[in-house]
A and B are shown apart, each in its own frame.
Chain A
Amino acid sequence: MDNDTLIGRISNWLARESGQDQEVLLYGLTLVKSFFLGYGFLLLVSFIFGVWSFSLTAAVTASVFRVFSGGAHASSPIRCTIIGVVLFTGFGALAGNVTYAAEVYPFITLTFIAIFLLSFIVFYRYAPADTPGKPISSQAQKKYLRTISFSLLGLYCVSVFLFVNSFSGYPYMNYLTASMLGFFWQVFTLTPLGYSLYHAADSFLKYFTKGG
């Protein structure tokens, strides 16, 4: 983290004024910047394409799971923003334009069952997946993150099936599709293949962006 950037100067000023640790404040500010940069650009781009509500649904679902289960990360905020904006706008566009005929509803339920079974296996095998910048070395932390991840997965699974049985048609099924796409992407980023793909996208974007 660079002290010469705008957030570096803000953290220096806040540390001087409050007497608190500058490094901790800079870390907090970096997290805030990353959050607003990511969601801000996602809302802007997906709004232009007219799918902001679906993109936001996919992104929020992935974010909620990501906090507890971890997953692959880009090596700079700008590259992470580009990858996230492209992916979630794509998911939003896909989910917003899909239409389900009544005959395919049983297949949707079967697909969701398959996704959840696969997710339980991936969570059991890989969650919580750490990153080089934030390794999870404590066994106690691993244990509570796994517990929360599985509880969240179970809760989400039940909610999805209740939703499928209670609602149908546009826009309900589209929001559900968006949420499931975000969830599926998050599960994928826990796997070694997900890490490899994220790394490949990150390396490719290094040719066009600075930093990291």
Chain B
Amino acid sequence: MRRILVFLSTSLLTILALANIAAACSTWGYQPEVPAKLRK
């Protein structure tokens, strides 16, 4: 159960991070700095 929850949460966070990279910026007024690994 714990492994499933970890898998689901990490997948969701990765999708969110990648979706934010594809978007212009975040929904609310703060945009954290993009990690170097996710920059082109």
Task: Point out residues on A near B: beta carbons under 8 Å.
Answer: 1, 14, 17-18, 20-21, 23-32, 34-35, 37-39, 63-64, 66-74, 76-77, 79-81, 83-84, 127-131, 133-134, 136-138, 141, 145, 149, 198
CB within 8 A of B32: which of A27, A64, A145? A27
Contact B28 A67 (CB under 8 A): no
Nearest Cβ distance between residue A116 and chain B, in whole angstroms? 20
Contact B29 A134 (CB under 8 A): no
Contact B10 A27 (CB under 8 A): no
Sample of 24 A–B contacts (CB below 8 Å): A14-B9, A18-B6, A18-B10, A23-B36, A24-B13, A27-B34, A27-B35, A28-B16, A31-B20, A34-B30, A39-B28, A66-B26, A66-B27, A71-B24, A72-B29, A73-B30, A73-B31, A76-B30, A80-B30, A131-B31, A134-B31, A138-B40, A141-B22, A145-B23
Residues of B within 8 Å of A138, CB to CB, are 40
Residues of B within 8 Å of A68, CB to CB, are 23-24
Contact B29 A73 (CB under 8 A): yes
Contact A14 B6 (CB under 8 A): yes
CB within 8 A of B35: which of A24, A73, A76, A149? A24
Contact A28 B25 (CB under 8 A): no
Task: Please provide the chain B residues from 5 to 21 with a CB less than 8 Å away from any CB of chain A in the complex.
Answer: 6-7, 9-10, 12-14, 16-17, 20
